[in-house]
Amino acid sequence: MAIVEHLIVDEFGAYVGKYSGRLKVTKKKETLAEAPLLHLNSVLISGRGISISADAVRECAGRGIPIQYVSGTGTAYAMLYSAGLTGTIATRRAQVQAYDNERGLAVARAFAWGKIQNQANLLKYMVKNYKDSEPELYAEVRRQAVEVLEHEVQLDQIEATHVDEARGTLMGVEGRAAQRYWAGVKLVLRADLDWPGRETRGATDPFNQALNYGYGVLYGQVEQATLLAGLDPYAGFLHADRPGKPSLVLDLIEEFRQQVVDRTIIGLVNKGVTIQRTEKGWLDRDTRRTLAEKVLARLDGPVRHEGKRRRLGAVLQMQARHLATFLRGEREVYEPFVGSW
């Protein structure tokens, strides 16, 4: 039996129970999947009509295995984890205090900088083999990458003493860089996709729906990383505080969207994988499973980070811990993760 590190449950009527050291997914007495708890890292429940036993929840909580709920459109609407993960108060106090000093502003600027760097690097990565075969496309996408990077200068020029003073300008710079980035992405996508451009909530085209679903899967991994680092996922810096909005998760995910989700889904589409949808225009179950599997596999893949080859998911956790130590004053600078190209 293959080792299951990420259990994905997405079939209506499925039941997740605990049986002698493993989770078993069944439906009408038929076994759909089994996952030994010893190797399990996460449980992703995607879809309606799925139930899970109290014993399974308790066992996952005791082992630090998060149970994430994602809707069919990619909305991460619930997360079950051990209450003990929220018991570290020193880091949270420092996190709240940092909002009103120079560390909060530095972190907000770092998140925006990292996102811009990763957008430019992914554009370069996508056309690095096109220099001889498609020189015009290569030159145009590289030009877009340069224009994305030019927005970093604007980040450095922002004068403020508090993150509230700088947020509007930071988000504006980030937004303009994103417009260039998505224009570059459109150039490398299959022409027959007829992609209208980036849309978030309420997207009706398959590529945007796939991106949104992929971000939903990544969202749970980022929230888990913040909790394990002792951080409050709802107390962010770049993104404004709102009731029920996990602002810090939205901050930290910016460093990883391009390397984890964008790269994965663009690669799938350009290799000819069809994004299948239901008659109502939503992603079908098989497509959602494929996307979740590929995004989680990308997190299990290797990247270069701080001079070593590491699992990308481990880098995510390291970044959350680096953020915590910076906010506590134990690290001089917070440097965002930037993927290579």
- Per-residue pLDDT tens digits of the chain, which is 341 residues long: 567 789 999 999 999 999 989 999 999 989 999 999 998 989 999 988 999 999 999 999 999 899 999 998 888 899 898 877 665 789 999 999 999 999 999 999 999 999 999 999 999 999 999 999 999 999 999 999 999 999 999 998 999 999 999 999 999 999 999 999 999 999 999 888 889 999 988 899 999 999 999 999 999 999 999 999 999 999 999 999 888 889 999 999 999 999 999 999 999 999 999 999 999 999 999 999 999 999 999 999 999 888 889 999 999 999 999 999 999 999 999 999 999 88
* Residue 184: both structure tokens together: 């570059």
pLDDT of residue 252: 98
* Residue 191: both structure tokens together: 């022409």
pLDDT of residue 86: 64
Whole-angstrom Cα distance, residue 337 to residue 255? 6
Whole-angstrom Cα distance, residue 250 to residue 246? 7
Radius of gyration of the chain (CA): 20
* Residue 153: both structure tokens together: 């200068």
**What CATH number matches the domain at 6-65, 2.60.40.10, 2.102.10.10, 3.100.10.20, 3.40.50.12160?**
3.100.10.20
Query: Would you tell me the crossing angle of helices 312-327 and 90-98 to the nearest 10 degrees?
Result: 70
DSSP string of 262-291, one letter each residue:
IHHHHHHHHTT----B-TTSSBPHHHHHHH
CA distances for 93 relative to 98, 179, 233, 328, 331, angstroms: 9, 36, 13, 9, 16
pLDDT of residue 149: 96
Whole-angstrom Cα distance, residue 224 to residue 64? 10
In degrees and rounded to multiples of 5, residue 41 shows phi and psi of -105, -30
Question: Residue 22's closest CA among 51, 52, 56, 53?
Answer: 56
Q: Residue 42: what residue type?
A: S
| Secondary structure E strands in 83-224 | none
pLDDT of residue 307: 85
Domain limits, the chain: 6-65, 90-327
Q: Is the domain 90-327 a CATH 1.20.120.920 member? A: yes
